[in-house]
C-alpha cells in the first residue's frame, strides 16, 4: 500500500478517535453508521443483469471522456473512437435495453456481461423520442433479465440505486433517494422523468434505476442540461414509459406513434406581445411538414396553440408528451389563437414521414414592433436579408446575425427591405420576427425594447423553447 494512503488512513482513524473522546466528554454518544443491508442485497440481486456497452463511432471534434478500457479486442481504428455506456438485460433470450443516444451512429457495439464475457451486439431498434434502444446478443446461456416495477408506487425520499459504468468503471453502484416525478429535461422533450440523487456520470446512460427489491423503476438517461457530471440531480425514464416502448421495439423494431407535423416555439414575454397574444401560455407554430395532418387541418405558421385535447399547452413538450401516447389514426383537437380569435381544429394523426420540415404560408398579421438594432438589404435573388446587427441591441441579444433572412414581421410576410424597415419603425415595445438561417428551419423570435421581466430562472419554465417536427 502507498505510504500516503496508509498515512491518510491513520490520520482518519485518529480524527475519529479524537472526535469520539470529545463527544464522550460532552456526554454525547456517537452511534457508528452502518451500511444498509437492503441496498447491498438489491445490488447483488440486480448486478448479474447489468451490462457495460462499448460503442465504436466516427471520431468527433472533441475527444471522448473515456475509452472503453479493459476489453481485450478493442483497438482505436483510424478516424473512429470508442465510447462507453450502460444497459441491462430486458429479456433472457439476449435482449439488452439501453439509451438511444448511447448507440446512435454506432459502427460496432460490444456488450460486456457481468461475468466478463464480451459479445457483439446488433441493434433491433431505437426510439429517439423516448431515448430508448434495444440490442440483441447471442449468449451461450439464458441471461438474467431484470424485472420491472411501477415507479409511481415510489414516494419522494424512498431509496433507489443506479447501476452502470460511469466513466467506464463497470458495474458500479450508487445510492440515493427519489427527489420527484414528472421532471422535464427541456422545453421540447415530452418524457416526464423520475428525479433522484444517486450519482450519475458519463457512462451511466442506459443503466437501470432499481428499487430495494432489485426491480427496474427507471432507465437512467441524463443529468440536467446545465451540467455534465453529477450534481445530485439525475433523471431516469420511468418504467411506465420504458417497459411498453421496449416491448414495442422487441416486437416491431420501432415504436409507432402519431405524427402531427408541427414545429413549435414557446412564448416568451416579447414574442407573446409581438404576436398580440395574451401572456401565460401557448406555443407558436413555426413551421409545418408538407401534407401533414396539421397542414391538412388548416394550421398556419404564426398560429398559437393554447390547448390540446382539453389540456393547457405551455411549452412544446406538452404537445410532444400527448403525442408520445398517441397512435396513427388517433384524432387530436387543438385550441388555436389566430389574429385575436380562438377556434378549434381537429387533426387525424399520420405515421411519421421521412421528409423535411417546410415553411408554410404566412397568414394575417397582428400589430408589429419597433427598431431593434437591425439593418436590411434586398437580396439579389429576392427576399430580405439582415445586413447589420447593432452590438448590444435586442437583435444581437436574440442571436440574430448578418446574413439571416427575414421572412415576416409578426405573421405578415415581407418581400423587400423598405417594407421591413417600415414595419419596424411602426413598432411599439416588442416585435415578433419570422427568420431563417441558411441550412436551418425557420423560427420565430421575440425582441423587446423594454427590460426583461424580473424573476429567478426556473428549470421547468420553458418560454422560448422549441422542438419538432412532432
Q: Which residues are catalytic?
A: 101, 131, 205
User: Do 176 and 198 form a contact (C-beta atoms < 8 A)?
Assistant: yes
**In the block, which residue shows the cell 438589404?**
377
Of 149, 50, 142, the closest CA to residue 96 belongs to: 50
**In the block, which residue shows the cell 406538452?**
318
Any alpha helices (H) in 366-464, and if so which ranges?
A: 394-397, 417-425
Determine how many CB atoms are found less than 10 A away from the CB of residue 249: 25
Task: Please give the grid coordinates belonging to residue 290.
Answer: 408538407
Determine how many CB atoms are found less than 10 A away from the CB of residue 107: 10
Burial class (CB in 10 A: 0-12, 13-18, 19+), 45: middle
Cα–Cα distance between 410 and 336 in angstroms, integer? 16
Sequence-separated (6 or more) residues with CB below 8 Å from residue 41: 212, 214
Task: Please give the grid coordinates belonging to residue 222.
Answer: 441524463
Of 143, 144, 146, 156, the closest CA to residue 210 belongs to: 146
Cα–Cα distance between 137 and 94 in angstroms, integer? 5
Sequence-separated (6 or more) residues with CB below 8 Å from residue 178: 154, 155, 156, 157, 158, 160, 194, 195, 196
User: Do 288 and 299 form a contact (C-beta atoms < 8 A)?
Assistant: yes
Cα–Cα distance between 11 and 52 in angstroms, integer? 37
Of 465, 431, 389, the closest CA to residue 225 belongs to: 465
What phi and psi values does residue 82 have, to the nearest 5 degrees?
A: -110, 135
By DSSP bridging, strand 374-378 and strand 357-358 are: unpaired
**Four-point Cα dihedral 217, 221, 224, 227, nearest 10:** 130
Cα–Cα distance between 332 and 468 in angstroms, integer? 17
Amino acid at each position: 500500500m502507498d505510504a500516503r494512503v496508509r498515512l491518510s488512513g491513520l490520520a482518519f482513524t485518529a480524527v475519529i478517535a479524537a472526535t469520539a473522546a470529545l463527544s464522550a466528554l460532552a456526554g454525547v454518544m456517537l452511534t457508528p453508521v452502518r451500511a444498509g443491508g437492503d441496498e447491498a442485497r438489491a445490488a447483488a440481486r440486480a448486478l448479474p443483469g447489468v451490462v457495460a456497452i462499448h460503442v465504436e463511432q466516427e471520431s468527433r471534434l472533441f475527444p471522448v471522456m473515456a475509452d472503453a478500457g479493459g476489453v481485450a479486442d478493442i483497438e482505436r481504428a483510424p478516424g473512429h473512437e470508442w465510447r462507453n455506456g450502460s444497459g441491462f438485460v430486458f429479456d433472457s433470450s439476449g435482449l439488452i435495453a439501453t439509451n438511444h443516444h448511447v448507440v446512435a451512429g454506432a459502427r460496432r457495439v460490444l456488450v460486456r456481461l457481468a461475468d466478463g464475457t464480451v459479445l457483439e451486439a446488433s441493434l433491433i431498434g431505437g426510439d429517439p423520442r423516448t431515448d430508448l434502444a434495444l440490442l440483441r446478443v447471442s449468449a451461450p446461456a439464458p441471461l438474467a433479465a431484470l424485472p420491472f416495477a411501477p415507479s409511481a408506487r415510489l414516494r419522494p425520499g424512498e431509496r433507489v440505486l443506479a447501476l452502470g459504468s460511469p466513466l467506464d468503471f463497470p458495474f458500479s453502484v450508487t445510492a440515493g433517494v427519489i427527489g420527484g416525478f414528472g421532471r422535464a429535461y427541456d422545453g421540447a422533450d415530452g418524457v416526464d422523468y423520475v428525479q433522484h440523487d444517486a450519482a450519475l456520470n458519463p457512462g451511466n446512460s442506459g443503466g437501470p434505476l432499481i428499487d430495494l427489491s432489485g426491480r427496474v423503476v427507471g432507465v437512467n438517461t441524463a443529468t440536467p442540461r446545465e451540467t455534465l457530471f453529477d450534481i445530485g440531480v439525475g433523471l431516469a425514464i420511468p418504467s411506465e414509459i420504458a417497459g411498453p416502448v421496449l416491448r414495442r421495439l422487441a416486437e416491431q423494431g420501432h415504436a409507432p406513434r402519431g405524427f402531427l407535423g408541427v414545429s413549435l416555439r414557446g412564448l416568451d414575454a416579447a414574442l407573446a406581445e409581438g404576436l398580440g397574444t395574451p401572456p401565460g401560455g401557448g406555443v407558436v407554430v413555426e413551421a409545418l411538414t408538407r401534407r401533414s395532418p396539421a397542414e391538412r387541418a388548416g394550421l398556419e405558421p404564426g398560429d398559437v396553440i393554447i390547448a390540446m385535447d382539453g389540456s393547457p399547452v405551455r411549452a412544446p413538450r406538452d404537445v410532444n408528451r400527448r403525442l408520445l401516447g398517441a397512435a396513427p389514426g388517433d384524432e387530436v383537437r387543438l385550441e388555436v389563437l389566430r389574429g385575436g380569435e380562438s377556434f378549434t381544429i381537429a387533426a387525424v394523426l399520420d405515421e411519421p414521414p421521412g421528409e423535411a420540415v417546410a415553411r408554410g404560408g404566412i397568414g394575417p398579421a397582428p400589430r408589429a414592433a419597433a427598431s431593434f438594432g437591425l439593418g436590411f438589404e434586398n437580396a439579389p435573388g429576392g427576399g430580405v436579408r439582415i445586413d447589420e446587427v447593432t452590438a448590444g441591441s435586442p437583435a444581437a441579444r436574440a442571436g440574430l446575425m448578418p446574413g439571416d433572412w427575414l421572412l415576416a414581421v409578426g405573421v405578415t410576410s415581407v418581400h423587400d427591405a423598405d417594407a421591413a424597415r417600415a414595419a419596424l419603425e411602426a413598432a411599439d415595445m416588442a416585435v415578433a420576427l419570422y427568420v431563417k438561417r441558411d441550412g436551418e428551419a425557420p423560427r420565430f423570435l421575440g425582441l423587446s425594447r423594454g427590460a426583461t421581466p424580473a424573476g429567478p430562472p426556473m428549470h421547468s419554465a420553458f418560454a422560448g423553447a422549441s422542438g419538432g417536427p412532432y
